[in-house]
Chain A
Amino acid sequence: IQMTQSPSSLSASVGDRVTITCRASQGIRNDLVWYQQKPGKAPKVLIYGASNLQSGVPSRFSGSASGTDFTLTIRSLQPEDFATYYCLQDYDYPLTFGGGTKVEIK
């Protein structure tokens, strides 16, 4: 299953609303997980089951699904949110990540 993530990068300002999308090449139910990775660090899970917030993750992060399109939204971007974001489909093997979206400071 191919996961097409867009955009590959974006520039945004603190306080902006940011939207990142992953499109699956076939139906995957809601078997979609979002991760955040900061430079030199291991990734951190944000959202599982497409829309369920992982414990300890700020509520400004949210996930949604529409068919094979999945969206990660950051409601009001904070300085600590500048990072690279990845989606992962866990519907079928092999598990596959999207290509990543780097969120940079404008």
Chain B
Amino acid sequence: EVQLVESGGGLVQPGGSLRLSCAASGFTFSSYWMNWVRQAPGKGLEWVANIKQDGSEQHYVDSVEGRFTISRDNAKHSLYLQMNSLRAEDTAIYYCVRDEAPRYFYGGSAYYSSAFDIWGQGTVVTVSS
């Protein structure tokens, strides 16, 4: 079964750190871009970060740049999110997400889409004193 299972969430004080982990199974982990997406209580979705298959490229939303670091260990089929200098506004459910990257055609050229096809169950991060 294709599955993503997050862990590492919890309650942390402002300014503190947490490391989220995501264990992948049922597919060739090293073949996919991987992402973290979060959702604050009662709010919409926010893309946080992603990482290329071999870990050589990462991208972040502006609000976490310099504070969060995404990484992966393909040998362990695992994705990580190191979160430092946490703020109250980082409180959210954090989802580990696979990017299926299906190809589509536009104007005679082929492009890859960020179709997030597999999601974990989420891990809750609460930043509060």
Contact = CB atoms under 8 A, between A and B. Distances in A.
13 contacts: A30-B111, A31-B113, A31-B114, A33-B114, A48-B114, A48-B115, A49-B113, A86-B44, A88-B116, A94-B47, A94-B59, A94-B60, A95-B61
A84 B86 CA distance: 28
Interface string B44-76: 111100100000000111100000000000000
Contact of A43 (B60, B107, B119): B119
The listed residue with most A CB atoms (<10 A of its CB), out of B111, B115, B120, B121, is B115
Interface of A: 29-31, 33, 35, 37, 42-43, 45, 48-50, 52, 54, 86, 88, 90, 93-100
Given A48-B102, A94-B60, A54 B117 contact: yes
B111 A42 contact: no
Dominant secondary structure at the A interface:
loop
Contact of B111 (A31, A88, A97, A100): A31
A97 B46 contact: yes
A86 B47 CA distance: 12
A42 B120 contact: yes
Nearest to A30: B106
Contact of A49 (B44, B60, B102, B120): B102
Contacts of B95: 42
A44 to B, nearest CB: 8
A70 to B, nearest CB: 13
Interface string B4-46: 0000000000000000000000000000000000000000111
Contacts of A30: 104, 106, 111
A37 B45 contact: yes
Nearest to A99: B44
A42 B94 CA distance: 10
B96 to A, nearest CB: 10
B44 A88 contact: no
B117 A45 contact: yes
